[in-house]
Amino acid sequence: MGESHLVYNMMSLLWKGIQLETSMGSVKFASMVAALLGMSQGITLLLAKSLLLLFDHERAYYHEYSIGFSGVLFAMKVVVNSQSDNYTSVHGLVLPSRHAAWAELILIQMFVPGVSFLGHLGGILAGILYLHLKASYSGSNPLTTIIRRFTRILSWPVRLVWGICRFRRLQIFGRGTVGGSQARRATGVWRCQACTFDNSGWLNVCDMCGTDRFDDGLSSLGSSNQTHDLPVEELRRRRVQRFGR
């Protein structure tokens, strides 16, 4: 229906999506959007069917065409403002944030011709229904579990390629690791006393700094009595200066 409609909806999605996704995570955010999409369209269809039963229209509303993401955006607005006690401005009208979606529904219907009133109303009701279902249900969301498993299946090739590349990189640049003691679970691994690099048992010289396997890395610092008297930071500085790392 025009670039302005697309830009307005996408900017609204960006503003609400940043707040929701950063607070609940990507998987839960995706499951919420999917649930709101289904509920908003379902409620809109029920409203259209109810109007046909209550009023004698020549053509049912659900035979009309509508486009856009506004229904889900209205539902997301309800979710964003559900716990807010602040005030917001809706086209110059200052009111509590909890009522912003209702005010925007009326103002848009008044000043923007051709918009889907039932679509927007269905989105608001979907947001309210989602909040009630979330508050009353304490278990894990099955839709979130499905989306998490689906994303793991889709990302399996990427993780496989990443694992192969990482394995080859370890083969090229060394077999050891630097860090905690958990890296030494494999047999035949010894840790360099100078740089804490884990080396293969087949090596007698550290693959990282060249220190002998049975050297404590402090031989150049003088006698053992002198090294015990030095602070930890001074020992570290001398090690860095010695190995040039």
Residue 181 designated active-site: no
Count of alpha carbons within 13 angstroms of residue 144, beta-carbon side: 11
* Catalytic member of 116, 120, 132, 155: 120
- Distance of alpha carbon 69 from alpha carbon 36, whole angstroms: 11
Residue 120 designated active-site: yes
- Distance of alpha carbon 155 from alpha carbon 144, whole angstroms: 16
* Catalytic member of 31, 40, 70, 116: 70
Residues with catalytic annotation?
70, 120
